[in-house]
Chains A and B, each alone.
Chain A
């Protein structure tokens, strides 16, 4: 047998980022000290402490909301769409200019592979700002009437899986529509949001238009429950989403929620098999499976199930797990110990339920939080691993016999964020897609994102849409 082709380490340099030892809050255009406690943000691949982060107190949140209100009343609501667009374009270009810095920082703080932060997250961030910059002076043509109005101050709480991208999904449409924002990044991944604050300063964005308050659940609660906000936008777990919906109920606040998912990736027997295998990998192992729309339930036609799973396992054997900064790494670190324990727990439940666990043969680094790509076969609809969101690199494989059974099983979930369909037959794609109770349906691809395309869920996956023209509605005074 010939000598193996071993890829030498190809680490991206960290020297491009400067991480301060501690960070305050970004309120009214300036970094200020918080009045609360602090938490540490760590690199999940090494457990190294990256920086100390302020936990915004109720008083800090109040200060931020008031700053946003002032900026809305005095400046932003009087700024024309064309002017707002200029700021958004400027931010987009700055994101592009500083893309390497942002990508390295995102990878350090989140644990995702540099190839993903470099090739997916950051380019999409810039694309979202460019896209919504284009809408800012065209709102009267967006189909919401002749003069749609902004809502005011938006409180936005985002998750840790795509820290800067989720920030862009929230801030870009809000600002384009004429709102000001107070955004709380996740407690484990606040650093790129704080770097984004620096970009806002660099872009000369008027003070108070964007405010960043860091912290954990309590800070988020204070923000969404603050009486001074007009709009709440949340992306995260269904559990927290329900709590937010309860707290917002009975107020005049508008609410959009983008929550969990347990997407079915349906493979028919006439699927393009090699590309399907790639799509399954992209569906559940992209970003370590920390994706709300992940294709975590593989529904494969029984007649090809064994062969497909064999091919899938062979492919998973080529995935490279390790140092997220290495340009050849495919699978990075799990974002936190808490999440790792949840994944371990649910995988253990899969074992107990009698599903067959298969794990890719790869060495896990000694330090940091890691979970090898895992496939459960012999899973049935009654299993918890077929119903609960694991939010990790764990795939549950189920089978079906007929197209109608596939549709029935795919929709048999409290969630409804996304779905995938794999077949060479166009008419089957159209028929199946129309039957899916899911906000996003991909055909012969998976986990593809674009700012022009609306994204959002059915049922317990939330309500409201982000992205595209539809994404504007969440930030305008329209039904």
Chain B
């Protein structure tokens, strides 16, 4: 067997058992992975399929603002946008979540209430992850206490690149513990920052490491490092989700984030999901798009499909 389900429980015992497992995963041929992603991106999504995909993509967006200059006003306008992306068209679905820094969670939560739009908080010394475990846990706890529905944590890429897999495993497990403290049920998204991991072998290993340690979602990027999400990286991560499901029966979610700006980009990601892990993942519960400017392009395309004409940037709201 390429992957042995019976050993999974034992894997997280030590650095060496993790190393044995992660380095025993089948390799990823970069040329082949790039070619597969490129081939899928030539799918032609038109008419009814496009309309379906646009609404699906909107419903999967984690509408994000992660700037030093974020203010209560900025977050409020983002929440309003998430609730009613197109003020003139109530048939537009809401986005999946609003994603903000930790200190703005309470504000977002107050605005979004029980609308169903989740609040995601980046935590664990986002984006670099360079802080002690206690600081990271305090950061996460703070977000959970303020009512965050989802915690987007970063892994310690330095630890990964120097082979300290157990440290990352334990960190993820500890943050997962915080997500469930005091009866909370926050979902945990684990950001791999694939732009810093560089190789697809590393991406596959980091994906498995995160899933072994308890991630509910695996996520490509912080958006602060280039390259952020790419199609082949997302393909490799989706394959890890698929293989994990084969073994455990559990579906882990996937979130590409950063650099997804156009409807065409979003379509390509949805095709990738559709043809790699299948229909079961085509829900905001299992697939998210971390983006900010993408939503307006989706809205413009949606208007175009409804009216047959392109409007323009003045016909969608600036947030």
The reply to whether A5 and B53 contact each other, CB–CB distance below 8 Å, is yes
Contact with B along A1-24 (1 / 0, CB 8 A): 111111110100000000000000
B44 touches A4 (CB 8 A): no
Known: A5-B270, A8-B50. A115 touches B31 (CB 8 A): no
User: Are B1 and A2 within 8 A (Cβ)?
Assistant: no
Residue A270 CB within 8 A of the other chain:
yes
Contacts of B27 in A (CB 8 A): 270, 272, 424
Which of B7-15, B140-148, B279-287 has 4 or more CB atoms under 8 Å from chain A?
A: B279-287
- Contacts A2-B282, A278-B36; is A444 near B274 (CB within 8 Å)? no
Q: Would you call the interface of chain B mostly helix, strand, loop, or mixed?
A: helix
B49 at the interface (CB under 8 A from A): yes
**Separation of A395 and B53 alpha carbons in the complex (Å):** 35
Given contacts A5-B282, A271-B26, A274-B239, whether A445 and B2 have CB atoms under 8 Å apart is: no
The reply to whether the CB of B161 lies closer than 8 angstroms to some CB of chain A is no
Number of chain B residues close to chain A: CB under 8 A:
33
**Interface membership of B275, Cβ < 8 A:** yes
Is the CB of A163 closer than 8 A to any CB of chain B? no
The answer, yes or no, to whether A328 is at the interface (CB within 8 Å) is yes
A249-280 interface bits toward B, Cβ cutoff 8 Å, 1 = contact, 0 = none: 00000000000000000000011111100110
Contact with B along A320-337 (1 / 0, CB 8 A): 000000011000000000
- Please name the residue on chain A nearest to B45 by beta carbon: A7
Would you call B47 an interface residue if the criterion is a C-beta within 8 Å of the partner chain's C-beta atoms? yes
Whether a CB of chain B sits under 8 angstroms from the CB of A119 is yes
Closest A residue to B50 using CB positions: A8
Give the residue among B1, B26, B46, B239 with the most A Cβ atoms within 10 A: B26
Which residues in window 266-303 of B have CB below 8 A to A? 270-271, 274-275, 279-280, 282-283
The CA-CA distance from A278 to B50 in the complex, in Å, is 26
The answer to whether A10 touches B282 (Cβ under 8 A) is no
State whether A444 touches B283 (Cβ < 8 A).
no
**A362 contacts chain B at the CB level, 8 A cutoff:** no
Q: What's the dominant secondary structure at chain A's contact region?
A: loop
Question: Quick check: is A402 within 8 A (CB to CB) of the other chain?
Answer: no
Q: Is the CB of B279 within 8 A of A272?
A: no
Chain A residue with the shortest CB-CB distance to B51: A8
Would you call A2 and B280 a contact (CB within 8 A)? yes
Cβ of A47: which chain B residues have Cβ within 8 Å of it? none
B46 and A272 within 8 A (CB) = no
Contact A119 B56 (CB under 8 A): no
Indicate whether B308 reaches chain A with its CB closer than 8 angstroms: no
A327 to B271, CA, bound (A): 14
Contact between chains at B279 and A10 (CB < 8 Å): no
Q: B23-82: which residues lie under 8 A (CB-CB) from chain A?
A: 26-29, 31-33, 35-36, 42-50, 52-53, 56
Which of A1, A115, A270, A272 touches B32 (beta carbons < 8 Å)?
Answer: A272
Task: Given the known inter-chain contacts A10-B46, A119-B42, A270-B27, please indicate yes or no for A5 contacting B32, CB distance below 8 A.
Answer: no
A327–B47 CB distance below 8 A:
no
A359 within 8 A of B: no
- 14 A-B pairs besides A3-B279, A273-B26, A327-B43 with CB distance below 8 A are A1-B280, A2-B280, A4-B279, A5-B49, A5-B271, A5-B274, A5-B282, A8-B45, A8-B49, A274-B28, A318-B275, A328-B43, A424-B29, A444-B32
Q: List 8 A-B contacts (CB under 8 A).
A: A5-B53, A5-B282, A6-B49, A10-B44, A10-B45, A275-B36, A278-B32, A278-B36
Interface residues of A (CB under 8 A from B): 1-8, 10, 115, 119, 270-275, 278-279, 304, 307, 318, 327-328, 424, 444-445
